[in-house]
Amino acid sequence: MNREMEQRKPEKKPEKKTAGKTGAGQQKDFRRQQAPVQAQPTSIQAQQAPVRVQPTSVQAQRAPVRVLQVLGGTGLGGAESRVMDSYRHLDRSRIQFDFCVHTQEEGFFDKEIESLGGHIYRVPRFRAVNWLEYRKAWKDFFRMHSIQGRPVYAAVHGHMTSTASIYLPIAKAAGVPLTIAHARSAGVDPGLKGMLTRFLRRNLGKKADVCLTCSRLAGEAVFGKKMEDAGRVTTVPNAIDASGFSFCARTRARKRSELGIGEREFVIGHVGRFGHMKNHAFLLDVFAQIQKKIPASRLLLVGEGGLMESVREKAASLGLSDRVIFAGNQAQVADYYMAMDFFVFPSIFEGLPGSVIEAQAAGLRCLVSDSVTDEVLITPLAEALPLSQGAAAWAQRVLARRDYEREQMAQAIKDAGFDVSDQVRFLERLYLGEGN
């Protein structure tokens, strides 16, 4: 474990918060528990290394509480992007994030995290055979991140639920007041890895103080239907900074020119990691059908991942190499939505994909797999279709819907409760123990 472990000033220990209960069948949703108040972000310089002396009570009160975000990495994934949206907008004079990741590789957001005052720590990737090593790494972590027996962290927010049943109880035993398990996906990888994930998630809801989910499907997949039906899981949708995706014709023209896309070319788009769940192979089949009908069409793929090369190979086998743009990871992803004409998202499973929300905010028509929760169909621009209907049917649906005018939809996203300002206010109250 890479120990960038510095002692810190002890923060004021917030009052312990546990998940409340509602009546049977009444799922909790933070959007119904608060008025959407805009959180005002503050800007601070990166924190200096904390001194070792015991601060006064006044100093302790002024110091922001620290919350540990547990993720697989800090790349441009969906969960990582949503956590960073919250981090940018919350009141960092009251709350600061640190990150613990399961990789030794530098992530896309590392420099930004450090500039915002956060620290990044690393533990070994869990591989089943290193169970004891993994547990020891977490025990060592929380032992090192305590002062006079008091934990540095007010909360541990676990987005990596595959091993949350290991590290959250360890955090609790170390004295962390609030442990949170956050369901981000409604499925698991195929094979033995998926089987192990399901095994490790058993009874996870009983091992966390608070259970959050981005959608009902994800909540049921991770915590079980009984917990969802009992109202013990709170839905916190994958909110975005909606105003940042408002359609701009000038940005569209500039980005298409940069990408070598003709003014009259029809652009199918997708944003997501190249992994099993995103189903890029099916997307290529859909595009191949569209290309037969509209030769002046392009496929714009934003993202990276382990299956990227296999997708390149399939594009080549279909004779589409010169028609497919592999844009890689992009910090200014909003500009790429502007360049698109239609967003196609044939995922095999998801939690609640932020990219579909972003696409709607950008005024794009969206065709989404019905394997994805219908909670993502926020505006009339989005519709679902079963994968079982096949690539030809998907292509026909896109072609039938291709003629439309781009509209400003950011306000509709905000009105539906999917703007980051709503989510930040909820998280601030949760972390500070101020109630929902």
Q: Domains of the chain, with CATH numbers?
A: 28-239+419-432 (3.40.50.2000), 242-415 (3.40.50.2000)
Could you give the CA distance from residue 350 to residue 364 in angstroms, rounded to a whole number? 20
Task: Compute mean pLDDT per 10 residues along the chain, 436 residues long, and list them.
Answer: 42 42 48 40 34 41 89 91 94 97 95 97 93 96 94 96 94 97 81 75 89 91 89 90 94 97 97 94 98 97 95 97 96 96 96 93 97 93 97 98 95 92 92 80
Can you tell me which residue has the tokens 């009984």?
A: 226
**In angstroms, how far is the first alpha carbon of the chain from the final one?**
36
Quote the pTM value.
0.76
What local confidence, expressed as pLDDT, does residue 435 receive?
64
Distances (CA, A) of 255 to 199, 300, 373, 407: 45, 12, 31, 18
Q: DSSP readout, 64-76?
A: PEEEEEEES-SSS
Length of the chain: 436
What local confidence, expressed as pLDDT, does residue 424 receive?
93
Could you give the CA distance from residue 272 to residue 353 in angstroms, rounded to a whole number? 9
| Ramachandran region, residue 55 (left: φ > 0; alpha: ψ -120 to 50; beta: rest) | beta
What local confidence, expressed as pLDDT, does residue 34 receive?
42
Closest CA to 297 of 254, 268, 331, 326: 268
Could you give the CA distance from residue 330 to residue 127 in angstroms, rounded to a whole number? 30
What local confidence, expressed as pLDDT, does residue 21 receive?
38
List, in order, residues 6 or more apart from 295 with CB less than 8 Å away. Answer: none
Q: How far is CA 86 from its chain centroid? A: 10
Could you give the CA distance from residue 73 to residue 33 in angstroms, rounded to a whole number? 31
Edge-to-edge strand order for the sheet containing 65-71?
A: 28-29, 234-235, 210-213, 178-183, 153-158, 65-71, 95-101, 120-122
What local confidence, expressed as pLDDT, does residue 27 receive?
52
Q: Tell me the two tokens of residue 150.
A: 């008091």
The amino acid that residue 89 corresponds to is: H
